[in-house]
Structure 1
Amino acid sequence: MKTPLRIAILECDTPPDDLVARFGKYGKVFTTLLEKAADDLGRTGFSKDDLKLSAYDVVTEQKYPSLDDVDAVLISGSKYNSFDNDAWILKLVEFTEKLLKQDRVRTIGVCFGHQILGRAAGAKVGRSDGGWEVAVLPVELTEKGKEIFQQDKLSIHQMHRDVVFEYPEGVEALGGSPRCLVQGMYQKGKLISVQGHPEFHEAFVDYLIKMRNKQGIFNDAEAQDALDRVGKHHDGVTIAKAFLRFLLDD
C-alpha cells in the first residue's frame, strides 16, 4: 500500500475526563501508539511521518470518513455493548458491513471494535459466561497468530466481559484465552482484530480499575487481582506493528 497511509480512527467512546486531560481522546491514544509502532517497524523509508491519521466521533456526532479518502479504518474500544441496538451502534454495524463488502479499505478492530467486526461479519456477539478479563493477561497464539505478531507468545491489556463467540466464515483465528476463545481475527487484505487493548498502558488501566472498583463494577478482590497485573509487560507496540504490516503488505 502506498504512503502516506491514511487511517481513520472511529472513536466509539470517550475516556473519563481525567484520562482525556492526560492522554487525549481515543484518536490521540491510538495516534501515540501507531506513531511509536511506525518508528519501531524497521521498514526502510517508513516512519510516523508516513501516517496520516484522523479521528471521527461515531457516538455523539456520528461522523464517518468517506472511503475514497482513507486506506484503513480502525474501530476503537468502548464501554458500550456491541450487541445493543442503539441507533449509533446500528449505524456503525452498517458502516462496517459496507467496509467488509469492498476490497480496498482495510479494517482494524480493537475490543468493542473487534466485536463490531464479528457482528458485521455475521458472528454471534454477547456477554461471556466467563466474566471479565482485566489488565495484562496472556493470549495463546495460533500458528497464524505467531506468524502475524512475529512471536510465540502474546500479553495484552484486557478490559472486557463481552466476546465474539465464533469465527465468521473465511476468517482465520489468531489466538484465544480460557475466558475468550476468539481473541483475534484475520483475513488477508481485509481485516485484523484483537479483543484486548494494545493502546492501553499501566497508568490508563490503573485509573479504570480503581474507578470501576468505586462504581461497584469490580469488587475489591477483583480490583486487587487486576492491579497486581497492571504493570506487567504487554505487547501493545508489537500488536500495533502487526496492524501496520497488515496495512502495508500487498
Structure 2
Amino acid sequence: MGGADDSTATDAATGQESRRHAQSRRFAILLAGHSSPYSQQRYGDYNGMFLALLGGNGARGDADKGGKGGGAEEGGEDAGGGEGEQWDVYAVVDGEFPSDEVLAEVEAVVVTGSKHDAHADDPWVVRLCAVLQRLHQRKTKILGVCFGHQVVGRALGGRTGRAAVGWELGIKQVQCSADVTSLPYAAGLPPSFHILEIHQDQVLELPPGAVLLGSSPGTPIEMFAMGEHVLCMQGHPEFTKDVVEDLVVNRTKDGVIPEAVAAEALKSLEMYNENIKELRTLCNSFLRS
C-alpha cells in the first residue's frame, strides 16, 4: 500500500511533467497527404520523415504508424521532437485540424507534400488556406514543402497550377538568388544545391511581398520566403532516394507518369548524394532561430 510519501512523490512527478510541457517549445506538422505503403513501412508517414530531418524521434498521435494524426485535444501522447520540444501531428487531409488554442501556442508549423492539388477547392484545402492566413498574420513560422510550398503560396496571394513543363522528377539543381544572403537562417546555403523532386504543379506567381530564393529551369519558383517567418520550397529535403524511386516506379505502373519521363528521373537519382547537409541545416535553422 502507498503512504503519504508515495502521494507526495506522485504529486511531485505530476508537477514536474506539467512544468516540462509548460516549458516545451511547441511545433506542429500538418499532414496534407499520406506517404506510400513502402515509405510508411520503412519511415512512417511524412511526419516520420520530417522528424528525422529536423532531429526529432517521433510524433504525437498515430500518424507515424501510417494512421491519422492526433492533436492535443484528441488526447495523443507527446512522443517526439528534440529535448524541450513538443511536436503535434494533424492529418489535415483527413479533416483533422489544430484548434485555435493550439495554433496560438505553436512556434512553427510544417506543411507536407501531397498527391492533391493546391489550386483545388476541396473543403480541407480551402480550410488549410484560411489557417495559413491566420498563422501568417501572427507571424508564426511556416515551412512549406512541395504541396505545402504551393498551398502557402496560394493562401498568401500567389498563384499555383500545372507546370508548363509537365512532371518534374528526380534530382534537380536549384540556383540560389542573391537574396538568400540576407536571411540569417540561410547563411550556410551554397550558391546552388541538389534536391529531390516529384511534382507536376508549381507556384506560378509569388505572393505579394515574397522574395524569390531559388529557381531551376523547369521550376522558376523553387524556393521563396516572406519576412523571417515563411520559408517554402518545391523540392523534398525530407525524402531519400528510395522514396522517390518507389513513387516514380509505382505511378508509372499506374499510368500516371509517362515511361520516358520516369526513365530519365530514375537515371538522375544515380547522382544523388545521401549525405547532403545544407537543406537539413537550412530547415532546422529556420524553424528554431
TM range (shorter): 0.7 to 0.9
Question: Residue 72 of structure 1 aligns with which residue?
Answer: 108
Q: Percent identity?
A: 29
Structure (1 or 2) with the larger CA radius of gyration: 2
3-state SS in 2 of match to 1:18: helix
Question: Residue 238 of structure 1 aligns with which residue?
Answer: 278
Question: Residue 60 of structure 1 aligns with which residue?
Answer: 94
3-state SS in 2 of match to 1:182: coil
Asked if the contact 1:154–1:235 (Cα under 8 Å) also holds between the matched residues in 2, the reply is: no
Unaligned regions of 5+ residues in structure 1, if any? 37-46
Distance in 2 between the 1:236 and 1:96 partners?
A: 29
Q: Of residues 212, 217, 220 in structure 1, which corresponds to 2:251?
A: 212
Displacement of 1:24: 0.3
Question: Residue 114 of structure 1 aligns with which residue?
Answer: 149
Q: Of residues 43, 53, 57 in structure 2, which corresponds to 1:33?
A: 53
1:88 and 1:57, CA in 2 relative to 1: closer, same or farther beyond 3 A? Answer: same
RMSD: 1.9
Q: Which has the higher strand share?
A: 1
TM-score (norm 1): 0.88
1:111 and 1:234, CA in 2 relative to 1: closer, same or farther beyond 3 A? Answer: farther
Question: Residue 287 of structure 2 aligns with which residue?
Answer: 247
- 1:102-138 CA-to-partner distances (Å, cap 9, x unmatched) read 13x2111001000111101111111111111111110
Q: Mapping of 1:21-170 within 5 angstroms? A: 21-35=41-55, 48-64=82-98, 66-103=102-139, 105-145=140-180, 148=186, 149-170=188-209
Higher relative contact order (CA 8 A, sep 6+): 1
Displacement of 1:63: 2.1
Distance in 1 between the 2:170 and 2:25 partners?
A: 31
Unaligned regions of 5+ residues in structure 2, if any? 1-22, 57-80
Displacement of 1:188: 2.8
How many corresponding residue pairs?
236
Asked if the contact 1:118–1:167 (Cα under 8 Å) also holds between the matched residues in 2, the reply is: yes
Distance in 1 between the 2:240 and 2:170 partners?
A: 9
Question: Residue 13 of structure 2 aligns with which residue?
Answer: none
- For 1:85, the aligned partner's letter is D
- For 2:156, the aligned partner's letter is A
TM-score (norm 2): 0.76
